[in-house]
Amino acid sequence: MNESGTKDLPTDRSLAADIAQLYDSFGQRKPMPYSSPEPTRPLFFLLRTFLGDNDLLVILNTKRCRYQCAFCRLPAKSTKLFVPNEAVVDQFRFVATELRHSLSIVNRVTLSNEGSVLDEQTLGGAALGEIVAAIGAMRRVRRIEFETRLEFVRPEVLRQLKEAAPRVSIGILTGFETVDERIRDKVLKKREPLSMFLEGLDNVAAARAALTAYVLVKPDPRMSDEEGCDEAARTINFLATECRRRRISDLTIRLNPMYRAVDSRWAEVADSTSNYEPPRLTDVMRVAEEAVTEYRDIKVYVGLSTEGLASKAGTYLAREDYTAGLIKYVKEFNDRQKKFPWDRIEVERPLASDHHGAVQGTLI
């Protein structure tokens, strides 16, 4: 009570500040780790919305990816040692326990390990089987996405995993990046020729799995903005055609603006390219919009995460078209697959004089 006998209104500033901090620490801006934690803890997990689903992303903490693509620094975050099956299973138990009050709304799970979850040299098959059976016990889950290079897709293994979780359908999430063989081989150093990718795609089809493929906008730092957009459109066309040919009816494109991963070999090339600029977010949005307009049977999701691996200047944040307001439109597009309101976006566009170089924005 105060002097006038009435009850003081609670000053909820500190509560709001606490919640804001929790929101930043555990929501969409939750930071990605720079190195692997103890073996019984995952690298990362986040419950998020994805194309209308409540998707639980779990990045398991396992032995690092056996590849070293020139544009990717993910393996550097993971351990060189094989993590025992029991410890990996404990990682999933930890995630499910942390999320216990929200388990009943999860209808999709994405399993990753910053590499290939189907590569038994990095993640033991027994651990994966136990985790998939556990996901099967989460009764609303209808889809599991396995992130992997396609060379590790074996239809018989996927069939066994499906038996462990009969209600779910299976999706394969893979980094395709670009259809351009020169860029794949010489710039990205993926060590995955198109022929190898297509063999893997045959196995995706044989397993009756869905496909989600990462496509990069401007994967070669020497590309102009226009070349980057044209090349991404060609890549999407290739994937749509090859999936249709194999009757893979469920194709999702994860369209990512290329970022300059700090300390990567790709970054060295970018640094020695005089006119290098990261892609413009509005260009990425236009490519995404054109794809959903042209191919009505595919979904496109604009992914903006830099996985904690980029400096500000090496991302779309540094370009003159960027405003934090664009993120809202990207999120709406991702959820509804509807056209962007370009008139409004033009009005909100920053003047060149408003742009003071790189700024930190929300990464989704």
Judged by CB under 6 A, the stretch of 1-9, 71-79, 88-96, 299-307 that binds ligand SF4 is 71-79
Look-up of token digits 């993640």: 123
Q: In terms of DSSP bridges, do strands 53-59 and 169-177 run parallel, antiparallel, or are they unpaired?
A: unpaired
Report, in Å, the least distance between residue 209 CB and ligand SF4: 19
Distance between CA 349 and CA 212 in Å, rounded? 32
Q: Does 72 bind ligand SF4 (CB under 6 A)?
A: yes
- Piece of 26-34, 62-70, 255-263, 283-291 that binds ligand SF4 (CB under 6 A): 62-70
Number of residues that bind ligand SF4 (CB under 6 A): 11
Q: Is 138 in the site for ligand SF4 (CB under 6 A)?
A: no
| Contact range with ligand SF4 by CB under 6 A, out of 69-77, 134-142, 162-170, 315-323 | 69-77
From 28, 68, 79, 362, residue interacting with ligand SF4 (rule: CB under 6 A): 68
Stretch that binds ligand SF4, among 11-19, 48-56, 66-74, 261-269 (CB under 6 A): 66-74
**Chosen residue from 115, 124, 136, 361 binding ligand SF4 by CB under 6 A:** 115
SS3 string, the chain, reads CCCCCCCCCCCCHHHHHHHHHHHHHHCCCCCCCCCCCCCCCCCEEEEEEECCEEEEEEECCCECCCCCCCCCCHHHHCECCCCCHHHHHHHHHHHHHHCHHHHHHCCEEEEECCCCCCCCCCCCHHHHHHHHHHHHCCCCCCEEEEECCHHHCCHHHHHHHHHHCCCCEEEEEEEEECCCHHHHHHHCCCCCCHHHHHHHHHHHHHCCCEEEEEEEECCCCCCCHHHHHHHHHHHHHHHHHHHHHCCCCCEEEEEEECCCECCCHHHHHHHCCCCCCCCCHHHHHHHHHHHHHHCCCEEEEECCCCCCCECHHHCHHHCCCCCCHHHHHHHHHHHHCCCCCHHHHHHCCCCHHHCCCCCCCCCC
Which residue in the set 43, 59, 69, 138 belongs to the binding site for ligand SF4 (CB under 6 A)? 69
Q: Which stretch binds ligand SF4 (CB under 6 A): 11-19, 72-80, 160-168, 265-273?
A: 72-80
First-last CA distance in the chain: 45
Among 60, 74, 127, 251, binds ligand SF4 (CB under 6 A): 74
| Calpha distance 142→118 (Å, rounded) | 20
**For ligand SF4, which stretch binds (CB under 6 A), given 63-71, 274-282, 309-317, 343-351?**
63-71
Query: Two tokens at 259?
Result: 């970022």
Identify the residue among 63, 108, 149, 218 touching ligand SF4 (CB under 6 A).
149
Cβ closer to ligand SF4: 65 or 304?
65
Beta carbon nearer to ligand SF4, 69 or 317: 69
By C-beta, is 173 or 207 nearer to ligand SF4? 173
Residue 124 binding ligand SF4, by CB under 6 A: no
| Contact track, ligand SF4, 154-183, x by CB under 6 A | ---------------------x--------
Length of the chain: 364
Binding-site member from 67, 82, 276, 340 for ligand SF4 (CB under 6 A) = 67
Closer residue to ligand SF4, CB minimum distance, 49 or 308:
308
**CA atoms 316, 318, 322, 325: torsion sign:** positive
- Min. distance of Cβ 193 from ligand SF4 in angstroms? 14
Q: Residue 58: which of 163, 118, 144, 174 has the closest Cα?
A: 144
Residue 42 or 75 having the CB closest to ligand SF4: 75
Residues that bind ligand SF4 (CB under 6 A): 65, 67-69, 72, 74-75, 114-115, 149, 175
